């Protein structure tokens, strides 16, 4: 609890200390989850094997390859864990004053493993496939390529401006493992990715700053998918990452990743030339807060480019506030806030961390639009 001074004001130093303590605890919980990936994943294999062993001898003979498949799953999990240990070893410089006690001991199982955090780690493994493997190219082309082309069209690079120290600034909220922001920075923009998830940030830090050469690491992103597999080999299909050298940015590139809540991190008004959101705006408790923030921090004349669905991540989570509106209602709010819609497509097909070999395929029909903050804007919103 933060204390108060005699004047009734919060003791700012205590508040900062409390926030740092909470951040440290959260960081260590995430490290703990990563560290226990192998034990958690192997427990799931054991449950499947236990069910198989209860079969009659006749039924076991009908599935002669099943026990061998379980062993392949274990090998795949071990390989994933080797990568995770490399990721953990890359966290030393992420927080200057963090307590790293026991973070490097993979045998520490003194705390309960969070299934929520473990599912997020499974998702991160699939994100590696989406963002940093050749197998993810098709999905990236559906999602990132239209955004990149729109950035280039609306905000063309002027080498004279770069020489005068006037970089064109692009922000990518919800950057995940950073590939979209990386590609935009590589084109010559000053680009910053913003990510809230510490699980994602730890993985992004590794792939962007500490990874080796092209295809240095083997990963099994689909090993935790036990259903809808056409062939057993699909579950244990390996990929290689990264598909490009992440140290290949030009020497004068201006690229960074910022941790934290989008609504809290960005407070400077009229700063960004462009904000590119991909599968992001539906992560808000209140999507209108995102709209207000984007409008506020864009420069007059700046562009907001968006591609994604409206899944509304908090809609079915007990105890969480969630505002869910249709795109028609959202579009009305966008224009009421002051944006001018320059281009709009309401049937942009794309996928998200989709296993191309799965018998179950999800396809989103996304909205892809470009909005502009009027050049005469003074950051006053409609009431």
pLDDT at 243 over 90: yes
Q: Would you place residue 223 in the very low, low, confident or very high pLDDT band (cuts 50, 70, 90)?
A: very high
Task: Quote the pLDDT of residue 5.
Answer: 41
Cα gap 297→44, rounded to integer Å = 46
CB atoms near residue 311 (< 10 Å): 13
Average confidence (pLDDT) over 221-225: 98
Give the pLDDT band of residue 33 (cuts 50, 70, 90).
very high
Mean pLDDT of 73-84: 98
Residues 49 and 70 sit within 8 Å (Cβ to Cβ): yes
Apex 270 CA angle, 375 and 253, nearest 5? 105
Asked whether residue 227 carries a pLDDT value surpassing 80, the answer given is: yes
DSSP 336-376: HHT-EEEEEEEEEEE-SS--TTBSS---EEEEEEEEE--TT
Q: Which residue has the higher pLDDT, 350 or 95?
A: 350
Looking at residue 102, its pLDDT comes to 46
- What mean pLDDT is predicted for residues 30-59? 97
Task: Write the CB contacts of 150 (distance below 8 Å, at least 6 apart in sequence).
Answer: 303, 305, 343, 370
> In this predicted structure, what is the pLDDT of residue 97?
44
CATH topology of domain 116-383: Rossmann fold (3.40.50)
What residues does 4 pair with on adjacent strands? Answer: 10
DSSP 118-164: HHHHHHHHHHHHHHHSGGGHHHHHHHHHHHHHHHHHHS---HHHHHT
Q: What percent of the chain has pLDDT over 70?
A: 87
Which tops the pLDDT comparison, 15 or 51? 51
pLDDT digits (tens, 9 = 90+) for 278-324: 999 999 999 999 999 999 999 999 999 999 999 999 999 999 999 99
Q: Which residues contact 113 (CB under 8 A, 6 or more apart)?
A: 32, 33, 36, 39, 40
**Spatial separation of the C-alpha atoms in residues 36 and 113, rounded to whole Å:** 7
Residue 18, pLDDT score: 75
Mean pLDDT (the chain) is 90
What tens digit of pLDDT does each residue of 99-148 get?
Answer: 444 444 444 444 567 799 999 999 999 999 999 999 999 999 999 999 99
The pLDDT value given to residue 160: 59
- Contacts of residue 169, Cβ cutoff 8 Å, sequence gap at least 6: 189, 190, 191, 192, 271, 272, 273, 274
Q: What is the pLDDT of residue 95?
A: 54
For residue range 335-349, what is the model confidence (pLDDT) as tens digits? 999 999 999 999 999
Helix (H, G, I), strand (E, B) or coil at 4: strand
* pLDDT recorded at residue 163: 58
The per-residue pLDDT for 100 is 44
* Model pLDDT, residue 14: 56
How far from the centroid of its chain's Cα atoms is residue 380's Cα?
31
pLDDT of residue 113: 74
Q: How far apart are CA 234 and CA 248, in angstroms?
A: 32
- Residue 171 reports pLDDT greater than 80: yes
Q: Rounded to an integer, what distance in angstroms lies between the CA atom of residue 87 and that of residue 84?
A: 5
Tell me the pLDDT tens digit for each residue of 255-276: 999 999 999 999 999 999 999 9
Residue 67 scores a pLDDT above 50: yes
Residue 188 has pLDDT above 80, yes or no: yes
Q: Encoding tokens for residue 223?
A: 């090993």
The residue extents of the domains of the chain are 1-113, 116-383
- Is pLDDT larger for residue 377 or for residue 19? 19
Q: What is the mean pLDDT of residues 65-72?
A: 98
Over 90: is that where the pLDDT of 89 sits?
A: yes
- Lowest mean pLDDT: which of 23-32, 77-86, 316-325? 23-32
pLDDT of 9 > 80? The answer is no
């Amino acid at each position: 609890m933060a204390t108060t001074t005699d004047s009734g004001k919060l003791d700012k130093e205590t508040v900062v200390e409390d926030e740092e303590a909470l951040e440290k605890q959260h960081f260590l919980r995430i490290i703990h989850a990563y560290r226990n990936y192998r034990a958690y994943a192997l427990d799931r294999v054991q449950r499947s094997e236990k069910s198989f062993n209860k079969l009659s001898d006749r039924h076991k003979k009908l599935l002669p390859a099943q026990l061998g498949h379980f062993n392949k799953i274990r090998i795949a999990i071990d390989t994933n864990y080797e990568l995770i240990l490399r990721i953990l070893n890359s966290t030393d410089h992420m927080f200057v004053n963090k307590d790293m006690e026991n973070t490097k001991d993979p045998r520490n199982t003194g705390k309960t493993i969070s299934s929520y955090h473990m599912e997020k780690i499974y998702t991160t493994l699939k994100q590696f496939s989406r963002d940093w493997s050749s197998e993810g190219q098709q999905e990236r082309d559906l999602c990132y390529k239209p955004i990149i082309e729109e950035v280039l069209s609306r905000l063309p690079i002027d080498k004279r401006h770069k020489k005068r120290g006037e970089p064109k600034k692009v922000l990518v909220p919800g950057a995940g493992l950073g590939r979209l922001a990386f590609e935009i920075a590589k084109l010559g923009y000053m680009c910053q990715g913003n990510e809230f998830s510490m699980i994602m940030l730890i993985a992004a830090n590794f792939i962007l700053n500490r990874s080796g050469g092209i295809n240095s690491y083997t990963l099994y992103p689909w090993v935790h998918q036990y259903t809808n597999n056409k062939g057993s080999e699909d579950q244990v299909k390996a990929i290689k990452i990264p598909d490009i050298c992440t140290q290949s940015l030009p020497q004068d590139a201006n690229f960074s990743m910022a941790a934290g809540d989008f609504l809290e991190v960005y407070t400077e008004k009229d700063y960004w030339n462009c904000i590119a959101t991909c599968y992001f705006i539906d992560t808000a408790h209140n999507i209108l807060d995102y709209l207000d923030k984007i409008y506020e921090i864009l420069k007059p004349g700046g562009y907001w480019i968006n591609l994604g669905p409206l899944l509304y991540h908090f809609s079915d989570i007990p105890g969480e506030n969630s505002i869910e509106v249709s795109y028609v209602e959202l579009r009305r709010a966008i224009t009421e806030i002051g944006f001018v819609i320059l281009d709009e497509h309401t049937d942009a097909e794309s996928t998200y961390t989709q296993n191309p070999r799965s018998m179950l395929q999800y396809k989103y029909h996304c909205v892809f639009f470009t909005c502009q903050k009027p050049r005469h804007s003074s950051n006053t919103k409609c009431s």
